[in-house]
Amino acid sequence: MSDRVHEAQGAGESLPESVAAARDPAAALHGRLLNVSRMATIGEMAAGVAHELNQPLTAIANYAHACERLLARPGADLDDLREALHQITAQTTRAAEIIRRLRALARSQQSDHVPVDLNKLIEELHELMKTDASLHGVSLTLELAPGLPEVAAAGSEIQQVVLNFLRNSLEALAAHPVSRPAVAISTAVVNGHGVQLTVCDNGPGLPAAVERQVFDPFFSTKENGTGLGLAISSTIARAHGGSVGYRANTPCGACFYIVLPTQLPE
């Protein structure tokens, strides 16, 4: 070990990324795959993101034009002007929040495992997921159990699992259209000391022959699938002391879920 590494450890500094990667190549590979998966997911959601950003930007332009017209009138109504300016501020804040959420998803650094509310992690993604689902003609609903106990988690990684599950459902519904395509995301307490997040759709589901392979790296039922999304989700779950799984939906469709241990009181 070099003197520089010794000095960094003695001074309480974090090790350089290249040194950490050399010491734990498996963790480094996981980190790179996670980043690739995250960016690929964001790329797939690009149309939805553009649509979502276009709404507040269009509103801002409309309210700005309204202000110009009001000011051009003799004896402009100040109350109408104030309302238009208020709407401009509100829509600007909305656009900034969309960008903030995207930047949070795109962050490459890994988060520490800290106590988090699983419901809040899902709610942070709701607008992005709803827009993505809408562009696919799919109805999205949230069925979040109130009063969930906290879990120790890296929030961005758990959100990546949610997006992986959602994208699987949307792609399955696109490949096998149904009359009323729908996805439901739910949370619940299981076994008294675990929290489960489930993403269910009413698509074709999985053939029984491939159910056990679906979380294997590079296995995919899609023609152009990479086979990484669900495998990375499984790795994330294990790193959190949890697990992932699949079950058939009733009367039709697929349900993918992740179970995480709760933060038990000391």
Domain boundaries, the chain: 50-103, 110-261
Q: Is residue 253 scored above 70 in pLDDT?
A: yes
As a whole number of angstroms, the distance between CA 141 and CA 183 comes to: 7
Q: Which of 72-76, 152-156, 253-257 has the lowest mean pLDDT?
A: 72-76
pLDDT for 4 = 36
Would you state the pLDDT for residue 20? 45
pLDDT one-digit tens code per residue, 138-154: 999 999 999 999 999 98
Bridge partner list, 186: 143, 198
User: Mean pLDDT: which of 10-19, 59-68, 195-204 is highest?
Assistant: 195-204
Each residue's pLDDT tens digit, 205-252: 888 777 677 777 655 555 555 556 787 788 888 889 999 999 999 999
| Mean pLDDT, residues 96-118 taken together | 71
Pick among 3.30.565.10, 1.10.20.10, 1.10.10.10, 3.10.300.10: CATH of 110-261: 3.30.565.10
pTM over 0.75: no
Contact criterion met (CB below 8 Å) for 194 and 262 = yes
Specify the DSSP class assigned to residue 190: E
Q: What share of the chain is helix, strand, coil (3-state, %, to 5)?
A: 55, 15, 30
CA distance 62 to 73: 17
- pLDDT, one tens digit per residue, over 45-70 is 555 566 567 777 888 888 888 888 88
Look over the chain and give the mean of its residue pLDDT values, rounded to a whole number. Answer: 77
Selected residue with higher pLDDT from 8 and 123 = 123
Cα–Cα dist 215/234, whole Å = 7
Q: What are phi and psi of 246, to 5 degrees?
A: -135, 145
- Bond from prior residue into 265 cis (ω within 30 degrees of 0): no
Mean pLDDT for the stretch of residues 91-116: 71
Mean pLDDT of 76-90: 85
Please give the average per-residue pLDDT across 258-264, as a whole number: 85
- Identify the CA nearest to 256 among candidates 162, 182, 193: 162
pLDDT at 42: 59
Q: How far apart are CA 142 and CA 254, in angstroms?
A: 16
Q: Percent of the chain having pLDDT more than 70? A: 69
